[in-house]
Each structure stands twice: as C-alpha cells, then as structure tokens.
Structure 1
Amino acid sequence: MNILITTIFDYPHEGGLSSHITTLKKGLISRGHTVDVLSFSQLPHFKKKMLAQAPGFLLNKVKQGSGQLFNDRQRQKLLASSIKSLNKHYDVINAQDIFATLASVESGIPTVQTVHGYYSFEAVSRGALLPDSAEDLTIRELERKAYQSAAKVVTVDQRIKDYIHHLAHIEAEAIKNFIDLSAFAPESAKREQTRQDFQIPLHKKMLFVPRRMTEKNGVIYPLLALPEVLKAHQETILVYAGTGEQLARLEETAASLQLTDSVRFIGSVPFENMHHLYEASDVVLIPSVHSHGVEEATSISALEAMSCRSPVIASAIGGLKEIIVDGEDGLLVKEKDTKALAQSILKLLHDPPYASTLASRARSKMESEYSHLSAAKRFETAYNEVL
C-alpha cells in the first residue's frame, strides 16, 4: 500500500519522534510498502516563516502561549494544504501529532494517529504554555478532537493509552516503541575512533546522556551527581548529546560546581552516528523525571543504548519501568535522587563484569521484544483495519 507519514514538526530532527518515523518507514518498506514523509521541513520556506514562525514568535512576546497555539494551528493549515496538493494517491495516512491528524483527516484519506506523549502537558513542561491558561485548555480540546477524528489511534505505551481513554473515551492500541536492531548493533571496534572524533579522553570512564535538554528529561541530575562520582572515580567524564532550553542552566551549573573539565556538551548528533557514542560509553544515563503531568514513555534512547549492549541506568518512572528490570538488564533509580544515581554509577564503574552482564541481557531483550520489523507488521495490520 502507499502510506504517507505526516507531522507538523521538522523531519529529520533531534529526538525520539524523528527516530520513530525513520525506523517505522524502514520497517514498512522492508514489508513491500511505499512510504513518504510530509513534515514542516518540506513546506515552502517563505510560508513557514511568514505565516507560522514569525507571527508566533511575536505573539508570544505579547502573551506566553498565544504564539505557540497560533504557530501550531498555522502549521496545521499549511500541512493540510500540502496534503491536498499532492499528486500521488495514498491509501492511508499515519499522523504523528494532533495537528497533523487534524490536517490529515481533511483529505478524506483514512488516518491512523500515533500518539507519542501528552501534547498539552509537554508544552507546559517545556515552558511553551502556561498551565490551565486559555491556550492550554484549547490545546487539550484539540487533543480530544484529534483522537476522536482519527480512524484509529495507536500509542507507544499503556499509560498514554489510558490517558486517551480518559480524555477522549477512545480505545487505542498500544504498540511499544522499537528500534532497528541492525543499526544499533554492538560494534566495539570503533570505540577508540569515536572517542578521538569527539575529543573524549580514552583513559576516562564515559557517562553518556543522550537526551534533548528539556526539564522532563532530568538532564540536570547526572551533573548534580557527578561530584560524588568523581570523589571515588576521578577519571570520569560526563558527556551530553543534545540541545534544548536547559543547556544554559547545565553550563552555568557545571561552572559553579567547577566541573567544566569533567563535562562535555557535544550538541546534536546525527541519528546514524548515535550508535558509535553508545558503544564508546561506559554507562548510559536516562534520568527522566515527572514534569507538569509528563512522564517518560518507552524511551527510544534507552532502547538504542540497550541494543548497543551499553549498560543503562534510568529513572524508575513511566515506560522506563516497562523496559528495564532492575538488576537484571539495567539499573533503575528513584527520580531526582542524585545520591542513588551516583551510587549506581559507581557500582557499574567498579564492577565491569556486572555491567557487561546487564548489557548482554539487555541486548537479548531488544532482539526478542523490540524489533522494528515486528512493529512494522503490527502497524500494517492497523492500517488494514481502517481501509
């Protein structure tokens, strides 16, 4: 079948949504389908700037949140117009956010929506909306409308499925996040080269945080735990890959704690290069926290690290508890508990055989439960249900 994936966000971009689209597309193509992606990136540059981004920026100066809502609605309109102007016939559309769903259903093509999180809550969490403001309430209502308008709703974990049932009285289907196991396969031979490429000292233990720098990702906590780690293991470096509104705070905190020499911010890393960094690391940290009602789903970063046979320490919240069994294929710690985080890091640094055992079990789990090929088959079934 001919499948169109839509989103009002840029593609490709940094983050799990982009990884999801790339990997799903690859899986569907391997099953013989034709897949195209229509995102904000493909829309005319002039229209993007003049009709959405610039007005939204100015409106936010007047009232926080008003620009965000305007920008999203304009992106919806531009996407809807672009879908209608496409010359190619599509059997089904798989929308990746609520505004893409609202745009897609206008075309009359059966639309399946994949829900990756809590749209309004996440906007509040990153400071784009004020909680319970008129804009926040409007977006919640648009969420409800999108879920009810879609021919079928798919969620990436059970908690989001429950949220949608509560909000819109829709019975969604949960298909857990997934990864391309061949793209994130252990390849330790390139570990030394990767360290050199990113100027990470070969003799230091590398703690890796592969997260967008937003509040809900808890990126500040590995930095706050680092002094305790350095007391017991001086030759340690904390490496962040990602960008976001928390970056300035992290840099200021590192300077105030006199940790600048022990922390590296390497910015956004292309999807195809991430597996090299997982392999170059000694411990991967996924320190997510609850933030304004937002809770981590099945973290793609955690799945990628586990697939690369990298030992993972994650917060014991949300979907992270669904994919990691504490002490069996990774370690779980209480969110925001920097002392517990430091102790878990030191536990793995001081016992490499134990860390290796956790990592090997994690890879086995990924092979048996999180393949993009089996997920693509389930999405294919979902598409057939609405045709």
Structure 2
Amino acid sequence: MENPVQNSPALLPQSKLCIVGMGWFPNRPGGLNRYVYDLTHTLAQQGNYVELCATDVPNDSSIANLELIHLADSQASLIQRWQSARHNFAQRHRPQVDAVNLHFSLYSFPVLSQLPQDCPITFTFHGPWADESQREGSNLLGVFGKKWLEQRVYQRCDQFIVLSQAFGEILHRRYHVPWEKIQRIPGGINLTRFQANLTRRQARNLLGFPLDRPVLFTPRRLVQRMGIDKLLDALVVIKRQVPEVWLAIAGKGSQRSTLERQVQDLNLTDHVKFLGYVPDDQLPLCYQAADLTVVPSQMLEGFGLILLESLACGTPVLATPVGGMPEILQPFCPQLLTTDTSTGSISARIIELLCNLSLLPDRQACREYATTHFDWEMIAPQILQSLLL
C-alpha cells in the first residue's frame, strides 16, 4: 500500500469530478456521509467542478461549481432506488469528467455500466459493508447479496483509497485487492465547523450539562458494535473512584431501549443522559462541554472521524485500539488508547485520566494536532491528486 501524499501540489488545474456517495449530510448523519459532504464541498471551494450523486439531495447547491444529482429516495424499495439511480445518473449535465470516485456499493452498482471508460475510477473504502451487516444481525442471504455487490463494484475500479492501514488490511485480505492499487489518505476535519471557541463552563451552560461534575461524552450510533454497553458497565466501576462522573450519550439506533434498561439495572440513572440525535451545529458544544470524549468501539472502526471532531474542539478523546483509531492517537498521546476493548480496560484508563488530569493533553495541543495533520484544506488536494492518477 502506498504511503499518503505528504505534500499537496501548490496549484492543480481545475478538474471535473463525479463522486457517488450514499446519502445527504446532515439529513442523514454518519461518518461516510459527513466525509463525502466535506470532501465534495472542499474540492468545489478549491475551484474544481464536482458532481455529488447521492440519495435525498436537495434541488440546489449553495456552491456554484458543486452540482447535486438526486439518485433516489432512500425510502423507496431497492428496485425503485436502482431504477431511479440509473435514470437520474444518465441525465447528468456533464457526462465527461476527469475522474470518478465511488463511496458506497449499493448506489455505485446500478450506475456501473454508465461510468466513463476513459477516466480513472477510484473506490474509497469506508468499511466491509457485508461484514458490518452480519455483525449487526442481518440474515445470511442479505449478507451474501451485499458481499456480491461489493465484489462486482470493486472489480470495476482501477484503484482504492483507504483512510487507515487497518482498513487497507481488510480490503486486501477480505476482497483480494492488490496492495499496489491501495493508497492510504486519512480523513479530514472542517476546522471552521469544529472549533474550540467556548470555555467548558460556557458550553455546559448552553447545553444544561452539570457544571461541577466530570463529564464524559460519546457520540455513537446505538448499535452493538459501538461498545456503549461496555462503557455503561465500565461506568459502574468508574463511579466508585469518581462518584460524580456523568456521561452524555448522543445518537440514535436500534439498541437505545436496551441501553436505557441497562442504565436502570445498573443504577446509573443519575450518571447517564441519552441526548438522542444531536444536530450537527450542536456537536461542537457537546465536545467542548466534556472533560473527555470516549469512543469504546468493539470492532470495524475504520478511521474514527469522531476523534478528529473532538480534538479540533480542544477536547481529548479516549478510544479503544480498534481499526484505524490507534493510527490517529498513538503519534499524539498513547495514553488516550485503552489496552484492549474490555470493560476493565476502559474503566481503568478513564479512572486514571480523570484522577490525573495532568496526563491529558491540553486544549491547545488537541486543536493544534487536528489542525496540523487533518485539515480538509490539506487533505482534499491529496485525494484529488490520487483520483487523477
């Protein structure tokens, strides 16, 4: 696997790009949708013509050279979505582009036959879709169908981008993609949206968070592999050493009712608050209100954009050593990684950090690390250069 491009070219000629994503952010939150949204907007703002093809996109873009192509209504049946995607993709205003960048197999598959033959096609691998579905309880037929779709799409691609070495390994091992076709380029962060512009007390006042308690924050989809259940179990141990600890959980998902019962069973009602879905403009407030962000993922965490969001807001983030997260935190502050994914490891490290706050990097160090290494203004030209190869 090639190393990431270290130095972006000072000037690149204006390029015409077609990018096929999944859904429209922020109406459909999630790491993939946020990544595609930020990438396309940054590339367009840097002077490139960009077509973003995805479900549920609005009619118009606020950026002159970003064209939005509505592929389908995400609530329609699969057959209707594919038929709509084929039809709407064929109606694009500029069929000739310099490069195509695919991000999600479900909506890349129906347009494969319409992709141009004379330009490079790159797939940005955000994770093993079929494997993730299996871990979240999908039936075997559905898992098989997703794996088949992934393989068909990947066969059409000339090269691949991964956000971490960890997912490069999965792409190579599970899908037999040669290393020479894989390039690692980390994800980016919008430093204008995610800022460290409030004191912790100011942020807590605005959100109604407790002012005088140690606050943990975790923004996660409430599904099994995200590890919220392990974090709640860890909280039982943590509160013995840090009695006033308080956890805010942002996000929605199929496990919410199960997790709420767990909170009651563990007598954590006074220590946990479920925030539900938090709008994008409120997330920076939540990060800035916390003493520590916690990402207790158990598996399949390809990169961890949440880590960048928290650091950009000046708040240190503790993560399990899963997927690409160690690649972000190890060079910055190894103490922000747990030993493993177990409840004991999570609780021990949080206790250590909350009882020894001097071990945590300060607000300026967190922000500076995100700014230096993960600014979208720097990452987007690296991706553009890779797409055009």
- Tell me whether the two structures share a fold, i.e. TM-score over 0.5: yes
Supply the distance in 1 between the matched residues of 2:191 and 2:23 (Cα, whole angstroms): 26
Q: Is the 8 A contact 2:71 2:85 kept in 1?
A: no
Task: Please give the residue correspondences for 1:27-66 in structure 2 after superposition, counting only pairs within 5 Å.
Answer: 27-42=42-57, 43=70, 49=75, 51-52=76-77
Query: CA distance change for structure 1 residues 44 and 162 in 2, over 3 Å: closer, same or farther?
Result: closer
Unmatched 5+ stretches in structure 2: 1-14, 58-69
- 2:47 is paired with a residue whose SS is coil
1:155 aligned to which of 162, 169, 173? 162
Deviation per residue, 1:182-203 (Å, 9 max, x gap) = 33232233x3343234321112
1:169 aligned to which of 177, 202, 205? 177
Task: Please give the residue correspondences for 1:1-387 in structure 2 after superposition, counting only pairs within 5 Å.
Answer: 1-12=15-26, 13-42=28-57, 43=70, 49=75, 51-52=76-77, 71=78, 74-89=80-95, 91=97, 92-109=99-116, 110=119, 111-127=121-137, 129-130=138-139, 133-166=140-173, 167-170=175-178, 171-189=181-199, 191-290=200-299, 295-325=300-330, 328=333, 330-357=335-362, 360-385=364-389
Moved more, 134-143 or 217-226: 134-143
Deviation at 1:84, TM superposition (A): 1.0
Supply the distance in 1 between the matched residues of 2:123 and 2:275 (Cα, whole angstroms): 34
Deviation per residue, 1:104-151 (Å, 9 max, x gap) = 433233442211001100111222x23xx2332232122111111124
Deviation per residue, 1:292-344 (Å, 9 max, x gap) = xxx21110001111222212111012211111128826521134422222222
Query: CA distance change for structure 1 residues 263 and 360 in 2, over 3 Å: closer, same or farther?
Result: same
Deviation at 1:353, TM superposition (A): 2.8
Supply the distance in 1 between the matched residues of 2:155 and 2:176 (Cα, whole angstroms): 7
Aligned residues: 355
Deviation per residue, 1:256-279 (Å, 9 max, x gap) = 112112111111122232122111
Please tell me the residue identity of whatever aligns with 2:18: L
In the other structure, the counterpart of 1:65 is: none
Deviation at 1:217, TM superposition (A): 1.3
Deviation at 1:95, TM superposition (A): 2.0
Query: CA distance change for structure 1 residues 255 and 85 in 2, over 3 Å: closer, same or farther?
Result: same
Unmatched 5+ stretches in structure 1: 53-70
Query: CA distance change for structure 1 residues 304 and 44 in 2, over 3 Å: closer, same or farther?
Result: closer
Deviation at 1:163, TM superposition (A): 2.6
Supply the distance in 1 between the matched residues of 2:331 and 2:240 (Cα, whole angstroms): 25
Supply the distance in 2 between the matched residues of 1:289 and 1:197 (Cα, whole angstroms): 32
Please tell me the residue identity of whatever aligns with 1:146: V
Identity of aligned residues (%): 23
Q: Is the 8 A contact 1:8 1:79 kept in 2?
A: no
- 2:93 is paired with a residue whose SS is coil
- 1:304 is paired with a residue whose SS is helix
Please tell me the residue identity of whatever aligns with 1:234: P
Please tell me the residue identity of whatever aligns with 1:161: G
Supply the distance in 2 between the matched residues of 1:335 and 1:207 (Cα, whole angstroms): 19
Supply the distance in 1 between the matched residues of 2:169 and 2:331 (Cα, whole angstroms): 24
Deviation at 1:77, TM superposition (A): 3.5
Moved more, 231-240 or 166-175: 166-175
Please tell me the residue identity of whatever aligns with 1:332: L
Q: Is the 8 A contact 1:96 1:116 kept in 2?
A: yes
Query: CA distance change for structure 1 residues 19 and 10 in 2, over 3 Å: closer, same or farther?
Result: closer
Deviation at 1:352, TM superposition (A): 2.5
Query: CA distance change for structure 1 residues 48 and 236 in 2, over 3 Å: closer, same or farther?
Result: closer
Q: Is the 8 A contact 1:297 1:318 kept in 2?
A: yes
Deviation at 1:356, TM superposition (A): 3.7
Deviation at 1:205, TM superposition (A): 1.4
Deviating above 4 A after TM superposition, structure 1's stretches of 4 or more consecutive aligned residues are: none
RMSD: 2.4
Deviation at 1:27, TM superposition (A): 2.2
TM-score, normalised on structure 2?
0.83
Deviation at 1:181, TM superposition (A): 2.6
Deviation per residue, 1:330-379 (Å, 9 max, x gap) = 5211344222222222222222232244x544433322322212221122
Query: CA distance change for structure 1 residues 162 and 326 in 2, over 3 Å: closer, same or farther?
Result: closer
Moved more, 197-206 or 243-252: 197-206
Deviation at 1:249, TM superposition (A): 1.3
Please tell me the residue identity of whatever aligns with 1:28: L
- 1:277 is paired with a residue whose SS is helix
